[in-house]
Structures are given as structure tokens and as C-alpha cells.
């Protein structure tokens, strides 16, 4: 086709205009306060975000919100177990410890709880596991299945076991003493005298044993009507921790060992002490009860790639504690004494944070800034974990480029999420909008101002750190025993997790740094 000269001139003018417009700097093309971002999301980042699934989120919620966690009240065994679960997951993703001196934890004292002790029932533990890494375990019941010996020292101990019945002569052909660094399991058909028990403990201690478990009829306490009387003792402590297992506790121990008691006895009579493949034992003995004033944040780092920016961090946080059995005034809205599992509040947020950590671990392309994952303790008691982090984590406020908080994200509409942030955090808002658009999600900000000081983003905002609060909304089961696994929507958790992942990615890769100015929020 032959071009008409007039049409050619007009096209030349349009072409000249486009060249001049596109040659302008990007800052001249976008509204004041907005930051340059790429228009296309990297394929690898999209793929990593899709690794977050509702099924895996549900699995995390199921473990954290199980009755076995007892409601995860800060300082209790359920909260400690949850922190261990989170730490183990971070380790399995090959993340780095995020605390001071290469630690996974930031310990702190929970204000107002100094001197408070938990009941003996939950302060003393005998846990049977098939391996050190096993997520499922069997906890024997205090008083009805196990009790510490009256003269046992207080102890926190984990270890493998060795079975013995009769002859203690080492028979390992390699010459290694099978008792060394193991907990001895000893069947006792009849009660041992205090002298015989003391002599046996001295003998196995000299060979490196770390503890003793007495099993059977001879281990039944003389006064089961007063199960806590063991705490009085005689004052003459044994050299190693000693626990008595009786009644149905014996059956549970032999079942997890994989062999009946008679089989162990038969072989040990001929071969001497036998190292046991299982159970792995976790043992805790506390005469005065568990110290409930101890809080523990769990921290993990995913390091960035930019030499100039990798010392800055985007924090992704969620609190893992809940309200226990609702016995503390003001924490429960009903069902006092019942386990409050807190599936939505906040097993859902923790599940999302863990899945985001896994998504980052899948990336070969790293963000410019580093990502810091923080599982906060004692949020329900007054934002104590996040306050302790902002005050004394070892990270300067100038290092914290932004914060994303996930709390109660497992209910209501699948494709929408409530978000709370300061209107002055323009860049953060742009990243949120871009992420939501990519995922087809709706952001709801109306009415969120009143929630900005009610979760773990509050201490960060007061320190002037740009922060956003992802929230699924209130419901009738809030702080009630009915907040259970069956009521959460795993797809909602995974949708919000993907949204938080993309938002954190954009925040970690933006060009410039922001200065922190404290706010009164």
C-alpha cells in the first residue's frame, strides 16, 4: 500500500509525541508519592506463591489447634510445644536463626506474671515419640499413668532409651556401653527399696545413663490418693531423674516400642541391656510447677541478595499464643474452663506465615532485602511478644523496612480481606493494591482504624515502621471454645498468605529506603 503524504505527516507527529513521552523519567509519569515498580510479576515469584495451598494451611491449623495444645496460653506447655513446632518448620526450610547470637528465640518476661506457676499436672511431662523429629507423640497422664519419684531431682531431659532386666554387663561387640547417654527403662514387678533404687541409680549413672524410668506394678506410688505428695520428698535427691510408669501408661510405652514387655525381657535376659529404637523420651520434672512468666518469640531469617539492602528486613509476623482454657479474666467470652483451641485466632495466621516461609525457601531468585519471620508469644495478654521484639530484639528500627501482620485470617469471604494500615504509608498501599489485583482479591479498609492498636502491628506502628494488618473479620466464635478447625476456611488462609507473600516481595524489592518516624497510633 502506498502511504498518502498527509497521513504520513500525521503519523510522524504521533510517533514523535510517543518518543518524547516515553523518554520522560518514570517519576514524571506517576502520581507524587508513588514508587517505581515493575509491571510484570516474575514467573518464579508467581510459581512460589502458588506453592501455598489450602491443604497445607489446614494441616498447620489442625496441629496448632488440637486439644493437645490446651489452648496455647503463653507460658504453658501447649504454647511451648507450638513454638517448637514453628522452630522445627523454619529449620526444615533451611532458614537461618533470626535471633541474637544465632538463636531461634527471643526470650522475655511476660509483664504481670512474675512468680506465677502452673499446676503440677501440666508442669510435669513424660512424652513418648517414635523419633526426635516426630510431630505426633503420646503424653502419659500425670497421676494416673506416671509420677516423678519423690527423690528425683527436677530436670528437663530428652533422649533415647535402653531396656534392661537383670544383668547390666555391657554386651555390645563394638565396646560401646549401651547405657551411655540413654534413659534406662527398667521393669519392676515389685517395689524397690530406697537403698536398692539409690544403688541402681549410682551404678547406671557411673556408666553414663541420663535418667531412669521404672515400669510396672512395682512403680505404682504408695499413696495415689495424694498424687502430689511426691513433691515433698526426703531431701536426699537421687543422682538422676527418676519417673514411675504404671497402669495404662505401661501399655502405651510397650506399644510405641513396637514389642511387648515379655519380648524385651526375654532378649535382655540373654543379651543384657538393649538399645531401643523407640520411644524417644521427653521428660520434664518440676516440683514447684512451670514458670508462667517466660515468653518466647521464634525468629527466622531469609537473607536478601543486594549487598546494600540485605541488612534491611521486611518482617512477617503472627502470634501463636491463645487464651488456654479461658481462666484469665477478660480473655474468654464464654466457656470458662474449656479448651479454647483458637483455630482462627491465631493458628490461621501462623499457618499462613509458615507457608510464606516455605514459598521463599523455594525461590532461587532472592529479594533485595531480607525477610524476617517472627512468631510472637503473649499477644493475647497484651501484645507483649511484639512489644519485646520492637524494644529489644537487637534489630534497629532503621533496619525494619516494613511489617506484615497476619491475625485471624481464616473466616468469611474467600476473595476479600480486611487490611489496616496508615494512610501515610503510600508505598505499602501501592504494593497491596498491586498484589490484590494480581490475585483477584478485594481489600476492605473501612472501619479498620479501630483495630490498628489491637494486634502485633501496633508496636511497629508506634515505632514509625510501615505496617499492614491482614484480618479476616470478627465472628461469633471469637475467644470462644467453638473457634475450632471445622470452622476455618483453608482456602481463605492460603489466599491471604499469597497476598502477603506478594506484598512482602514488592516491599523487599522497592528501590529506596524509608525513614522511621514514631507515631502516636
Q: What is the mean pLDDT of residues 460-477?
A: 97
More confident site: 365 or 40: 365
Q: Which pLDDT tens digit goes with each residue over 399-431?
A: 999 999 999 999 999 999 999 999 999 999 999
pLDDT of 41 reads 87
Handedness of CA 45, 46, 49, 55 (dihedral sign): negative
Q: Mark 14-28 as b/e (b = at least 16 C-beta within 10 Å).
A: eeeeeeeeeeeeeee
Given a cut of 90, whether residue 82 has pLDDT beyond it is yes
pLDDT of 182 reads 97
pLDDT of 171 reads 53
β strands within 351-431, DSSP E: 370-376, 400-406, 416-421
* Burial (CB count <10 Å: 0-12, 13-18, 19+), residue 447: exposed
Yes or no: say if 79 and 320 are a contact pair by the CB < 8 Å rule: yes
Q: Which pLDDT tens digit goes with each residue over 94-135?
A: 999 999 999 999 999 999 999 999 999 999 999 999 988 888
The set of residues, in sequence order, having a beta carbon less than 8 Å from that of 97 and lying 6+ positions away, is 103, 104, 299, 300, 301
Yes or no: say if 200 and 298 are a contact pair by the CB < 8 Å rule: no
Distance CA 239, CA 174 (A): 28
pLDDT of 439 reads 96
Yes or no: say if 107 and 399 are a contact pair by the CB < 8 Å rule: no
pLDDT of 209 reads 97
Distance CA 318, CA 15 (A): 52
pLDDT of 416 reads 97
In Å, what is the CA distance from 75 to each residue of 60, 299, 379, 474? Answer: 21, 17, 12, 26
More confident site: 167 or 401: 401
- Give the three-state DSSP class for 152: coil
Q: How far apart are the first and last CA of the chain?
A: 67
Q: Which pLDDT tens digit goes with each residue over 219-252?
A: 999 888 899 999 998 779 999 999 999 999 999 9
Given a cut of 90, whether residue 87 has pLDDT beyond it is yes
The set of residues, in sequence order, having a beta carbon less than 8 Å from that of 159 and lying 6+ positions away, is 181, 182, 183, 210, 211, 280, 281
Q: How are strands ordered across the β-sheet holding 274-285?
A: 138-139, 125-129, 274-285, 155-163, 183-187, 211-215, 242-245, 146-148
Delimit the CATH 3.50.30.30 region(s) of the chain: 120-285
The pTM of this model reads 0.87
Choice among 28-42, 127-141, 208-222, 291-305 with the minimum mean pLDDT: 28-42
Domain 43-116+292-509: give its CATH architecture.
3-Layer(aba) Sandwich (3.40)
Give the 3-state secondary structure of 72-112.
CECCCHHHHHHHHHHHHHHHHCCCEECCHHHCCEEEEECCC
Given a cut of 60, whether residue 391 has pLDDT beyond it is yes
Query: What DSSP line would sit under 426-492, residue for residue?
Result: HHHHHHHHHHHHHHT-EEE-TTGGGGTTSSTTHHHHHTT--EEEEE----TTTTSTT--GGGS-HHH
Distance CA 53, CA 115 (A): 43
pLDDT of 418 reads 98
pLDDT of 513 reads 57
Q: Which pLDDT tens digit goes with each residue over 477-519?
A: 999 999 999 999 999 999 999 999 999 999 999 986 544 455 5
pLDDT of 223 reads 83
Distance CA 145, CA 486 (A): 31
- The closest of 313, 324, 245 to 283, measured between CA atoms, is 245
CB atoms within 10 A of CB 424: 11
pLDDT of 20 reads 39
Choice among 146-150, 258-262, 385-389, 517-521 with the minimum mean pLDDT: 517-521
Given a cut of 80, whether residue 35 has pLDDT beyond it is no
Under the banding of pLDDT at 50, 70 and 90, the label for residue 173 is: low
Report the mean per-residue pLDDT for the chain.
Answer: 90
Distance CA 320, CA 354 (A): 11
Q: Which three cell numbers stand for residue 396?
A: 534497629
The label of the residue with cell 513446632 reads: 85
Q: Mark 298-318 as b/e (b = at least 16 C-beta within 10 Å).
A: bbbbbebeeeebbebbbbbbb
Delimit the CATH 3.40.630.10 region(s) of the chain: 43-116+292-509
Q: Which three cell numbers stand for residue 340?
A: 479454647
pLDDT of 69 reads 97
Yes or no: say if 54 and 493 are a contact pair by the CB < 8 Å rule: yes
DSSP state of 154: P
Q: Which pLDDT tens digit goes with each residue over 184-221?
A: 999 999 999 999 999 999 999 999 999 999 999 999 99
Share of the chain residues as helix, strand and coil, in percent rounded to the nearest 5: 35, 20, 45
Q: What is the mean pLDDT of residues 320-331?
A: 96
Question: Which uninterrupted H or E stretch holds 199?
Answer: helix 194-206
Given a cut of 70, whether residue 472 has pLDDT beyond it is yes
Would you tell me which CATH number, out of the four given (3.50.30.30, 3.40.50.150, 2.60.40.10, 3.90.1150.10), belongs to the domain 120-285? 3.50.30.30
pLDDT of 521 reads 44
Amino acid at each position: 500500500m502506498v502511504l498518502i503524504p498527509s497521513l504520513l505527516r500525521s503519523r510522524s507527529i504521533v510517533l514523535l509525541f510517543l518518543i518524547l513521552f516515553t523518554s520522560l523519567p518514570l517519576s514524571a509519569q506517576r502520581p507524587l508519592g508513588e514508587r517505581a515498580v515493575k509491571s510484570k510479576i516474575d514467573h518464579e515469584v508467581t510459581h512460589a506463591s502458588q506453592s501455598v495451598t489450602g491443604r497445607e494451611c489446614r494441616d498447620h491449623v489442625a496441629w496448632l489447634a488440637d486439644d493437645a495444645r490446651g489452648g496455647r496460653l503463653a507460658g504453658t506447655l501447649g504454647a511451648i510445644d507450638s513454638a517448637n513446632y514453628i522452630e522445627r518448620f523454619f529449620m526444615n526450610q533451611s532458614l537461618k536463626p533470626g535471633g541474637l547470637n544465632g538463636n531461634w528465640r527471643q526470650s522475655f518476661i511476660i509483664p504481670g506474671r512474675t512468680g506465677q506457676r502452673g499446676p503440677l499436672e501440666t508442669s510435669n511431662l513424660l512424652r513418648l515419640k517414635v523419633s526426635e523429629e516426630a510431630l505426633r507423640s503420646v503424653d502419659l497422664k500425670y497421676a494416673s499413668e506416671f509420677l516423678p519419684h519423690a527423690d528425683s531431682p527436677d530436670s528437663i531431659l530428652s533422649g533415647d532409651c535402653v531396656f534392661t532386666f537383670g544383668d547390666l554387663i555391657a554386651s555390645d561387640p563394638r565396646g560401646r556401653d549401651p547405657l551411655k547417654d540413654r534413659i534406662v527403662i527398667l521393669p519392676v514387678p515389685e517395689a524397690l527399696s530406697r537403698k536398692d533404687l539409690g544403688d541402681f541409680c549410682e551404678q547406671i549413672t557411673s556408666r553414663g545413663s541420663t535418667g531412669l524410668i521404672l515400669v510396672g506394678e512395682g512403680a505404682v506410688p504408695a499413696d495415689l490418693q495424694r498424687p502430689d505428695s511426691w513433691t515433698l520428698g526426703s531431701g536426699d535427691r537421687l543422682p538422676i531423674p527418676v519417673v514411675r510408669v504404671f497402669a495404662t501408661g505401661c501399655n502405651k510405652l510397650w506399644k510405641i516400642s513396637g514389642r511387648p514387655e515379655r519380648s524385651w525381657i526375654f532378649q535382655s535376659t540373654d543379651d543384657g541391656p538393649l538399645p531401643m529404637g523407640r520411644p524417644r523420651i521427653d521428660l520434664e520434672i518440676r516440683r514447684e510447677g512451670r514458670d508462667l512468666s517466660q515468653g518466647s518469640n521464634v525468629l527466622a531469617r531469609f537473607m536478601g541478595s543486594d549487598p546494600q539492602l540485605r541488612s534491611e528486613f521486611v518482617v512477617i509476623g503472627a502470634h501463636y499464643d491463645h487464651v488456654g482454657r479461658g481462666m484469665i479474666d477478660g480473655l474468654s467470652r464464654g466457656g470458662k474452663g474449656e479448651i479454647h483451641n483458637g483455630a482462627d485466632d491465631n493458628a490461621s495466621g501462623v499457618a499462613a506465615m509458615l507457608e510464606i516461609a516455605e514459598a521463599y525457601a523455594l525461590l532461587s531468585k532472592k529479594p533485595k532485602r531480607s525477610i524476617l519471620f517472627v512468631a510472637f508469644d503473649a499477644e493475647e495478654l497484651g501484645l507483649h511478644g511484639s512489644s519485646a521484639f520492637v524494644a529489644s530484639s537487637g534489630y534497629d528500627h532503621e533496619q525494619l523496612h516494613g511489617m506484615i501482620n497476619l491475625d485471624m485470617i481464616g473466616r468469611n469471604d474467600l476473595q476479600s480481606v480486611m487490611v489496616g494500615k496508615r494512610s501515610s504509608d503510600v508505598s505499602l498501599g501501592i504494593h497491596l493494591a498491586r498484589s490484590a489485583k494480581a490475585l483477584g482479591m478485594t481489600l476492605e479498609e473501612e472501619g479498620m482504624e479501630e483495630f490498628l492498636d489491637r494486634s502485633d502491628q501496633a508496636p511497629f506502628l508506634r515505632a514509625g515502621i510501615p505496617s499492614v494488618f491482614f484480618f479476616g473479620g470478627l465472628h461469633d466464635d471469637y475467644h470462644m471454645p467453638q473457634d475450632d478447625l471445622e470452622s476455618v476456611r483453608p482456602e481463605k488462609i492460603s489466599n491471604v498468605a499469597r497476598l502477603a507473600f506478594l506484598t512482602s516481595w514488592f516491599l523487599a524489592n522497592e528501590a529506596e529506603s524509608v525513614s522511621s518516624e514514631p507515631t502516636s497510633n
